[in-house]
Amino acid sequence: MTRWAIGLMSGTSLDGADAALLNGDGSRVHAFGACAYREYSDGERKVFRAAMRRAAETPTSELRRQPEMFASEATLSADIHAELIERLLAQDAAETPELIGFHGQTLIHRPEEGFTLQIGDAARLAKRVNVPVVYDLRLNDMAQGGQGAPLAPFYHFALARMMEADAPVAFLNIGGVANVTWVDPRATAPEAPGALLAFDTGPGNALLNDLIGARTGAAWDTDGAAAAAGRVDDGALKQLLDNAYFEATPPKSLDRGDFPKAPELMRSLGLQDAAATLTAFTAASIERAQDHFKIPVSRWLVCGGGRHNPQMMRMLSERLSAPVEPVEAVGFNGDMIEAQAFAHLALRSNACLPLSAPATTGVRAPATGGRLSTP
């Protein structure tokens, strides 16, 4: 049975929150509905950045013991998303959602310690919008030995089937952290052996956004202008790429703070050269990712904020071995893929279907997940 669901996503790049309506049955996507975006205010961004810093400085044992430590930030996240849902439904009143997939705002991700923290008061959100909310979609995966990320690959499989791909394709999401899904659409199901390979490739936009924010006060490098005007510092890039993570066998995942050497290396560079170098770092780490593919892909389909950066897309086209295109080339909305993924995952959770598999998160066996909060 098909249902309408809303997916919500707010990434580590801290630009804002996305919401998207999707119709499906948990296996296949049947239709897309309205989408909405709400940019974080400077004050909200400051609150979440401070919470990220506090989480990074707090031992995992203490974070586990004190789940209420970020209660006010969780309330803020819920209220932002409730406002966003109200805006979304005002656009598309004809569709009545039966479920919401709520990702929350990631503060810290420590897969090596079996811990991840996404904040957002799901009960408050369900009550405010009067729709059941599926949340904590990562926790069961981590309890079963997985890294809890990335979770979008099962949705990428559904999209590859929807576009009737007949050869492996790569979905590349460039958010705060970049991640890739290698998809073989000829497989019988996303959890089938050989259907998927997914992992975080390295930095996405977070390092670049932080640099631009610190030096100019802007939220990001608009149109890649700073990077386009600069020159890549090859020495600094080589040092950034000297990281065991890139050689590690996937599945594997990262936190946005896992490259602490980057800000230090950028201090000696001017803004434009630093922006060019960090953009090249993202592109070069994605280039290395393709070494892990079992079969070369026929095309790269890029979603997330990074695809709006012409310099990023140019560097990727120069480095990757297959055509690089935004997902709009095949009729999808690249700004909303992640939000739509959480609608799809909510439907899968409700149907008790797996959300992850050994080749996507390293979990021991295909794992279901999610908790339900009703109004």
Closest by CA to 276, choosing from 214, 208, 222, 219, is 208
* Contacts of 64-69 spanning 24+ positions with Cβ under 8 A: 64/115
Strands, E assignment, 152-288: 169-174, 177-183, 196-203
Residue 14: per-residue pLDDT: 87
* CA distance linking residue 6 with residue 10, whole number of Å: 14
Residue 24: per-residue pLDDT: 98
* CA distance linking residue 310 with residue 46, whole number of Å: 28
Residues 6+ apart with CB under 8 A from 267: none
How far is C-alpha 354 from the geometric centre of its chain's CA atoms? 19
* pLDDT, tens only, 78-104: 999 999 999 999 987 778 999 999 999
* CA distance linking residue 146 with residue 169, whole number of Å: 24
Domains of the chain plus CATH, in order, are 3-148+336-373 (3.30.420.40), 164-330 (3.30.420.40)
How far is C-alpha 71 from the geometric centre of its chain's CA atoms? 23
Residue 254: per-residue pLDDT: 86
* CA distance linking residue 336 with residue 118, whole number of Å: 19
| Torsion, CA 374, CA 41, CA 13, CA 130, rounded to 10 | 10
H helices of 17-148, in order, are: 42-57, 60-65, 71-91, 122-129, 139-143
Count of beta carbons in the 10 Å neighbourhood of residue 295: 11
* CA distance linking residue 318 with residue 252, whole number of Å: 25
Count of beta carbons in the 10 Å neighbourhood of residue 39: 11
Residue 54: per-residue pLDDT: 96
Give the torsion sign (CA, 47, 272, 274, 238).
Answer: positive
Letter for the amino acid at 316? L
Give the torsion sign (CA, 43, 132, 121, 10).
Answer: negative
* CA distance linking residue 240 with residue 51, whole number of Å: 26
Low-confidence ranges of the chain (pLDDT < 70): none
